[in-house]
């Protein structure tokens, strides 16, 4: 059991003493809520100073404020801080609602410069509460003498208050009385007392640091005064809130003002690192825990009720301190003054930094500094409109993965040890698109590592593929990894249903990777999955290779994930430079080729590197194939003579160091023929991680150069909607309403989209209809063979024959995609990219099938609906498409189709 979650069993709420935009955008806060039971967040000027002055993550928002004419540093600060507080409050709102308004708060402090201005503090508290506009924001007011009346006034106004910088017992008494006075003021005015909440932040470890300095090295009182002081404070709390004054207010709905233990990191390394958490656990308390202490307590903390134990010893300890000549009252008074000054100094430093940065941005704006703007996560680098910028800002977490993911590796490695101990012989990834294609790279690149499970990737609803996976990886020997960013992707969820039933409902044979708060996360917990990994939410699927979606399956099957991240980090460092930046140079080179008419990106590589081509195909196609623009990536294209390729191509060669196989020979011949070839070499398998990052960065640059948002996928939903409609028809009529054939022969039939019907009407034969369809190819065009067939290679030769026939004699590129995989890859390009493609959607008649438990349909029906849905989506987008139904043996039908295509090429219409 997680010790942090166990705190709630003793009535204590763990809050997190840190906030930053990175932790919000990455989903880290949501993950801590889900996994650790986090119930609140505190901030202060020092925390914001560290968050805002470190790095460039706030630069885009700062530029935006400056563009609107904001110049005052304090106003600039609020333009940065208030959205963070608001966003954190939204993440915590479910906690707030579930607790009836007791927890789920985010604290925002009034300006430290007002610490001795009672009226100014109260006015500032009211203004900030209104500015954030969330019921679960708590305004922090310092417990100075001037702050006491501000506390009463703010509570009386119905605003939640976090009273901060409490060190002494005397001041704590005054704070509790000020809170009660605020409730009484509100009650006298006839205002409701519920659900106003308040906490009193009683500082702990700073007291030991100050008192220890006044004691001899061998004093038995060293390291004991802070806890004794806090336990005595808790006794006062029970007395005040057990008294008649509070009971009268409680009858009207008033809450207790909970003690919040603050400053709970251990300052002295000789003391236990979680002592100020473990010694102060009890009912009606909060502990706001800094990140390092939070991690330590999760790892080795003990959650036992301690707050009201040894209270008499605490009293005697404080008395003994006085007898030894240490005036605790003087110490706490000094600490209050130091605390106010420290926060004021941090706030002043923050405002100074903002003023200086604003001056730099205003005096020397450099819109050409592409790398700097990308790393600053400046959404305006790509698009000017607010809608796109909102998507972009929440999609740039991939930039941080080489540096942020090492912190997640202990979690991954602990799970790896557990999985290996369980004796799994196979790992099957159930996912689509970005959740599976990096895993396909890992699967294809090398043989299984001795002592580790064999990796399988199932990204298909085609029944034969599902059944083949079940045979290759028997459920009794398999760990299933259900991967879905959204947690609602239909294919992995239905595959999960199938294999969960096959595994006898044993959740210990499953883990999930998803975003915080997704339906998959909830379902996995309900099914008792062995582990749920929550990935950073600001990482898009196709940019997630270096996130948990790639790292968990890689680690489970023996990849050195430390080396992978180290290599990716080295590439990321190079991609921060304006000159000699490999990602920037590659993206700009691809854009220049595209502008010159070379907009087909043909990926060459040995069979064990073909997985990288599939991964790259999705990254490029889905990122830049929109708004009628795009680059067309082509993976696995059958090789041909160097001189026979059309002139619209750039070739990519990924090879292992020293490799001299057929792809390398073809690349050499292409270079000799004057064709552009971009070469990339791997000196070790783990070096592929650096290429992941290089290409992600390059693709982001390519999107900018083409004028598109590389982080959205506006046309993907169309096929999903059409699939849902087809399934609704199936449910209503008992069958899929496939289009009537416009042409038919013994092995296949064809139905054409409206954009192709006129040209194919009146053909004397199916072969002639196909020839007329193929004649619709436009200059600089391409074709795509989209086959709803098993992707395990059993039909690879016949599909290659068809692709080769389609490319003759013009040398056009022919994509090959297995359905429904390509829907999550090149599907966006097909509907949203340039209208230069011909699309052949191949659906099989008959064949084996498998029922999906609890779904009321089979995989064959789902796969058929997806093929039909995509054809309808292509037709609705005005694309030239044909729906081909293969009869009988798929290989025979494909070869007959290839022969017809070859005949069409020799006899052009």
The upper half-sphere exposure of residue 746, i.e. CA atoms within 13 Å in the direction of its Cβ, equals 4
CA separation for the pair 65, 369 (Å, rounded): 20
Burial zone of 471 (CB within 10 Å; 0-12 exposed, 13-18 middle, 19+ buried): exposed
| DSSP, residue by residue, 390-426 | HHHHTTBGGGGHHHHGGGGHHHHHHHHHHHHHHT--E
140 has catalytic annotation:
yes
SS3 content of the chain, % helix, strand, coil (to 5): 55, 15, 30
Query: Which residues face 749 on adjacent strands?
Result: 744, 885
Question: In this structure, are residues 17 and 289 in contact, taking their beta carbons and an 8 Å threshold?
Answer: yes
Residue 675, Cβ neighbours under 10 Å: how many?
A: 18
> DSSP secondary-structure letter at 265?
S
- 3-state DSSP assignment of residue 887: coil
CA-to-CA dists, residue 390 to 66, 384, 387, 711, 715, angstroms: 19, 11, 5, 11, 18
The residue with tokens 């879905």 is 484
Burial zone of 11 (CB within 10 Å; 0-12 exposed, 13-18 middle, 19+ buried): middle
Tell me if the bond preceding 809 is cis, omega within 30° of 0: yes
Question: In this structure, are residues 62 and 127 in contact, taking their beta carbons and an 8 Å threshold?
Answer: no
Question: In this structure, are residues 456 and 426 in contact, taking their beta carbons and an 8 Å threshold?
Answer: yes
Residue 770, Cβ neighbours under 10 Å: how many?
A: 25
> Which of 239, 241, 281 lies closest to 261 in space, CA to CA?
281
- 3-state DSSP assignment of residue 107: strand
CA separation for the pair 843, 779 (Å, rounded): 28
CA separation for the pair 193, 177 (Å, rounded): 16
Name the H helices within 673-715: 688-706
> DSSP secondary-structure letter at 676?
-
Beta strands in 638-708 (DSSP E): 649-656, 677-682
Helices and strands: H and E segment counts in the chain: 37, 25
Question: In this structure, are residues 496 and 533 in contact, taking their beta carbons and an 8 Å threshold?
Answer: no
CA separation for the pair 789, 822 (Å, rounded): 12
The residue with tokens 């607010």 is 386
Q: Both tokens of residue 728?
A: 């609704």
Pick the catalytic residue: 5, 54, 74, 140?
140
Question: In this structure, are residues 574 and 580 in contact, taking their beta carbons and an 8 Å threshold?
Answer: yes
Burial of 844-866, coded b for 16+ CB within 10 Å and e otherwise, reads beebeebebeebeeebbbbbbbb
- 3-state DSSP assignment of residue 858: strand
CA separation for the pair 628, 830 (Å, rounded): 10
Say how many residues make up the chain.
909
Which strand ranges, in their side-by-side order, compose the sheet holding 677-682? 632-635, 600-604, 649-656, 677-682
CA separation for the pair 635, 605 (Å, rounded): 9
Instruction: For residue 514, report the phi and psi dihedrals to the nearest 5 degrees.
Output: -160, 180
> Which of 866, 331, 826 lies closest to 603 in space, CA to CA?
826
Burial of 236-246, coded b for 16+ CB within 10 Å and e otherwise, reads ebbebbeeeeb
Q: Both tokens of residue 318?
A: 């404080």
Residues catalogued as catalytic: 140
């Amino acid at each position: 059991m997680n010790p942090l979650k166990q705190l709630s069993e003793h009535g204590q709420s763990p809050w997190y003493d840190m906030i930053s935009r990175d932790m919000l955008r990455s989903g880290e806060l949501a993950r801590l809520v889900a996994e650790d039971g986090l119930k609140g967040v505190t901030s202060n000027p020092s925390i914001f100073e560290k968050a805002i002055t470190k790095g460039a993550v706030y630069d885009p928002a700062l530029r935006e404020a400056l563009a609107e004419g904001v110049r005052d540093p304090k106003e600039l600060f609020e333009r940065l801080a208030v959205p963070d507080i608001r966003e954190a409050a939204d993440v915590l709102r479910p906690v707030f609602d579930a607790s009836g308004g007791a927890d789920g708060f985010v604290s925002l402090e009034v300006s430290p410069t007002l610490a001795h201005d009672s009226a100014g503090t109260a006015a500032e508290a009211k203004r900030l509460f209104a500015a954030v506009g969330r019921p679960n924001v708590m305004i922090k007011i310092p417990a100075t003498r001037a702050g006491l009346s501000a506390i009463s006034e703010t509570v009386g106004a119905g605003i939640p208050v976090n009273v901060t910088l409490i060190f002494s017992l005397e001041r704590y008494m005054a704070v509790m009385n000020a809170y009660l006075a605020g409730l009484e003021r509100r009650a006298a005015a006839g205002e409701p007392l519920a659900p106003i909440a308040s906490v009193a932040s009683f500082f702990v470890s700073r007291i030991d640091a100050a008192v220890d300095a006044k004691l001899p090295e061998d004093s038995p009182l060293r390291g004991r005064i802070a806890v004794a002081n806090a336990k005595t404070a808790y006794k006062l709390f029970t007395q005040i809130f057990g008294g008649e004054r509070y009971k009268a207010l409680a009858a009207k709905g008033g809450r207790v003002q909970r003690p919040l233990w603050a400053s709970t990191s251990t300052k002295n390394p000789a003391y236990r690192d979680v002592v100020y958490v473990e010694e102060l656990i009890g009912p009606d308390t909060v502990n706001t825990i800094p990140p390092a202490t939070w991690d330590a307590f999760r790892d080795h903390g003990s959650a036992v009720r301690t707050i009201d134990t040894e209270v008499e010893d605490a009293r005697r300890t404080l008395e003994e301190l006085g007898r030894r000549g240490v005036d605790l009252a003087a110490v706490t008074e000094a600490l209050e003054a130091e605390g106010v000054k420290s926060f004021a100094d941090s706030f002043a430093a923050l405002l100074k930094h903002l003023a200086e940065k604003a001056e730099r941005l205003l005096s020397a704006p450099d819109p050409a500094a592409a790398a700097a703007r990308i790393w600053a996560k400046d959404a305006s680098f790509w698009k000017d409109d607010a809608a796109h910028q909102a998507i972009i800002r929440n999609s740039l977490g991939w930039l941080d993965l080489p540096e942020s993911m090492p912190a997640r590796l202990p979690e991954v490695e602990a799970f790896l040890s557990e999985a290996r101990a369980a004796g799994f012989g196979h790992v099957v990834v159930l996912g689509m698109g970005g959740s599976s294609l990096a895993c396909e790279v890992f699967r294809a690149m090398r043989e299984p590592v001795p002592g580790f499970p064999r990796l399988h990737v199932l990204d298909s609803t085609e029944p034969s593929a599902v059944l083949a996976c079940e045979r290759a990886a028997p459920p009794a020997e398999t760990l299933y990894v259900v991967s879905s960013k959204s947690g609602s992707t239909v294919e992995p969820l239905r595959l999960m249903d199938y294999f969960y039933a096959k595994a006898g409902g044993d959740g210990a044979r499953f883990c999930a990777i998803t975003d915080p708060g997704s339906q998959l996360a909830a379902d996995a917990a309900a099914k008792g999955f062995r582990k749920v990994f929550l990935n950073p939410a600001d990482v898009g699927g196709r940019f997630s290779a270096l996130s948990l979606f790639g790292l968990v399956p890689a680690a489970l099957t023996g990849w050195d994930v430390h080396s992978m991240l180290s290599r990716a980090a080295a590439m990321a460092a190079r991609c921060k430079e304006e000159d000699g930046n490999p990602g920037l140079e590659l993206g700009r080179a691809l854009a220049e080729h595209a502008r010159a008419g070379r907009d087909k990106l043909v990926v060459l590589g040995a069979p064990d590197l073909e997985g990288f081509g599939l991964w790259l195909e999705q990254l490029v196609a889905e990122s830049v194939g929109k708004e009628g623009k795009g680059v067309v990536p082509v993976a696995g294209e059958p090789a041909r003579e160097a001189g026979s390729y059309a002139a619209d191509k750039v070739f990519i060669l990924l090879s292992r160091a020293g490799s001299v196989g057929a792809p390398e020979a073809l690349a050499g011949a292409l270079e000799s023929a004057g064709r552009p070839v971009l070469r990339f070499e791997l000196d070790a398998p783990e070096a592929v991680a650096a290429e992941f990052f290089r290409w992600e960065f390059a693709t982001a640059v390519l999107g900018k150069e083409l004028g598109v948002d590389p982080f959205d996928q506006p046309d993907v939903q169309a096929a999903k909607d059409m699939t849902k409609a087809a399934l609704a028809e199936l449910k209503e009529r008992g069958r899929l309403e496939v289009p009537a054939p416009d042409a038919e022969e013994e092995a296949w039939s064809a139905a054409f989209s409206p954009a192709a019907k006129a040209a194919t009407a009146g053909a004397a034969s199916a072969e002639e209809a196909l020839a007329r369809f193929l004649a619709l190819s436009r200059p600089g065009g391409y074709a795509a063979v989209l086959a709803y067939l098993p992707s395990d290679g059993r039909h690879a030769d016949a599909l290659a024959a068809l692709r080769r026939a389609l490319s003759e004699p013009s040398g056009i590129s022919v994509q090959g995609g297995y359905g429904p995989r390509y829907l999550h890859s090149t599907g966006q390009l097909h509907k949203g990219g340039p209208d230069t493609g011909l699309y052949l959607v191949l659906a099989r008649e008959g064949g084996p099938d498998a029922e999906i438990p609890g779904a009321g349909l089979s995989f064959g029906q789902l796969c058929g609906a997806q093929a039909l849905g995509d054809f309808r989506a292509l037709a609705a987008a005005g694309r030239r498409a044909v729906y081909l139904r293969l009869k009988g043996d798929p290989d025979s039908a494909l070869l007959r189709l290839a022969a017809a295509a070859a005949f069409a090429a020799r006899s052009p219409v």
